[in-house]
Amino acid sequence: MEKIKLGIIGMGNMGSGHFRNVEAGKCPSVEVTAVCDINPQRLETLGEVAAFTDADKMLESGLVDSVLIAVPHYLHPLMAIKAFEHKVNVLTEKPAGVYARQVREMNEAAVKTGVKFGIMFNQRTNPLYARAREIVQSGQLGKPKRLVWIITNWYRTQAYYDSGSWRATWDGEGGGVLLNQAPHNLDLWQWIFGMPKRVRAFCDFGKYHKIDVEDDVTIFAEYENGARASFITTTGEAPGTNRLEISGDRGKIIIEDGKLKWWKLDEAEREFCFSAREGFICPASKYQEFSEPAPEGHPEVLEAFAKSILTGSELIARGEEGLNSLSISNAAYLSTWTDDWAELPVDEELFEKKLAQLREKEKGKPQKK
């Protein structure tokens, strides 16, 4: 069977997890031919696979035709662009980067080379979210009205944040829950419901933990078509909730506890509202419920990436789509920092200026041990 020759850049938790998935046979179109990490101790127990401590040398070795990037967030675009320059296909972990300009430049570099470029949005493989997207995008939900996502089951302890000096820092990670835990949800939000025109956000920094970055967020968003969205996330609530509710003038979808519930109105609500002759009745609806187990996700995205290279099939998430969810999080930060609405596309220059100030301020503080 034909396989891609994959190099993994970054052998921390995520990189080593992808390596184990391939070794376990979960990605039959993938062979790991090289690994790279600046910490040589992480490379000592990986068998006969070629090991590098320098990504440039791995890319120049001729041993790989594709790479999976699993390094700290700021380095995603840098490593991707290096790979593109060597005509090497790229699958990067989320988020695509930390700030929009950096990711936009990465996307432009990918287009110039013509290689495959994917991003590890593994929750797109969940059949419930895929079904919700199909219902909304096909118009079966009618004119979109509102999306509400309460995603507060990202609970983390202080020990988690203390486990690495780069964690929960502006200079090391580039943000908190919006950059680390919630990018998947931000991606699904825009993948299903579309991109908003502006956001008003309230980010609380170090509200529940001894950290400088955000651990509690509420985002309000407005759309060109009049629809609205609200998004609430935190790493400081237990027990948490994961409930997505989407309303249109032809019904409502709720995804919670492994089920998709769909109320499909017999008549559009806007038409019913002005034709009904009684004041306290609701339009009739049909109810459907779907329950499907979520796949592992990560190996499915990697295998689809390999198949796309080998056969030209579709990627689960194209790399350039990473700019969408990052733009929402960038706008959320900027809205909080300026205490005002933030338009999309985000003001890249102002965002980078504010971020640079926080990174500089952070450098004057004692480092975490």
Distances (CA, A) of 248 to 186, 193, 242, 268, 340: 20, 11, 20, 9, 28
Convert the pLDDT of each residue in 82-101 to its tens digit.
999 999 999 999 999 999 99
CA–CA distance, 358 with 292 (Å, rounded to integer):
43
Domain extent listing, the chain: 4-121+297-318, 124-294+325-363
Gap between the Cα atoms of 26 and 48, Å rounded: 19
pLDDT at 369: 56
Compute CA distances 245 → 183, 230, 231, 253, 255, whole Å: 18, 10, 11, 6, 7
Q: Are 78 and 9 in contact (CB under 8 A)?
A: no
Residues in the chain: 369
CA-to-CA distance for 87 and 291, rounded, in angstroms? 42
- pLDDT range class, residue 45, cuts 50, 70, 90: confident
10 and 53 Cβ atoms separated by less than 8 Å:
no
Under 8 Å between Cβ of 270 and 259: no
Per residue, what are the HEC states of 51-110? EECCHHHHHHCCCCCEEEECCCCCHHHHHHHHHHHCCCEEEECCCCCCCHHHHHHHHHHH
Given 3.20.20.70, 1.10.3720.10, 3.40.50.720, 3.90.1640.30, which CATH number is that of 4-121+297-318? 3.40.50.720
State mean pLDDT over 60-76: 98
- Per the structure block, which two tokens stand in for 143? 């004119």
Yes or no: say if 197 and 179 are a contact pair by the CB < 8 Å rule: no
246 beta partners? 147, 253
Q: Which residues contact 227 (CB under 8 A, 6 or more apart)?
A: 143, 144, 145, 146, 147, 193
What type of residue is 348? E
Q: What percent of the chain has pLDDT over 70?
A: 99
Q: What is the pLDDT of residue 164?
A: 86
Give the C-alpha distances (Å, rounded to integers) separating 352 from 282, 296, 346.
Answer: 49, 35, 11
Q: Contact 326/119 with Cβ under 8 angstroms?
A: no
Start-to-end C-alpha separation, the chain: 47
b or e along 181-191 (b: 16 or more beta carbons within 10 Å of the residue's beta carbon)? Answer: bbbbbbbbbbb
Return the pLDDT at 368.
Answer: 59
Bond into 283 cis (ω within 30): no
Same CATH fold assignment for domains 4-121+297-318 and 124-294+325-363: no
Name 353's bridge partners.
none
Give 101-154 pLDDT, tens digit per residue: 999 999 999 999 999 999 999 999 999 999 999 999 999 999 999 999 999 999
CATH number of 124-294+325-363: 3.30.360.10
Residue 234: what pLDDT?
Answer: 98
Per residue in 180-238, pLDDT (tens digit) is: 999 999 999 999 999 999 999 999 999 999 999 999 999 999 999 999 999 999 999 99
- Would residue 103 be called left, alpha or beta, if left means φ above 0 and alpha means ψ between -120 and 50 degrees? alpha
Beta bridge partners of 50: 34
For residue 138, give every residue at least 6 positions away whose Cβ sits within 8 Å of its Cβ, in sequence order, or none.
none
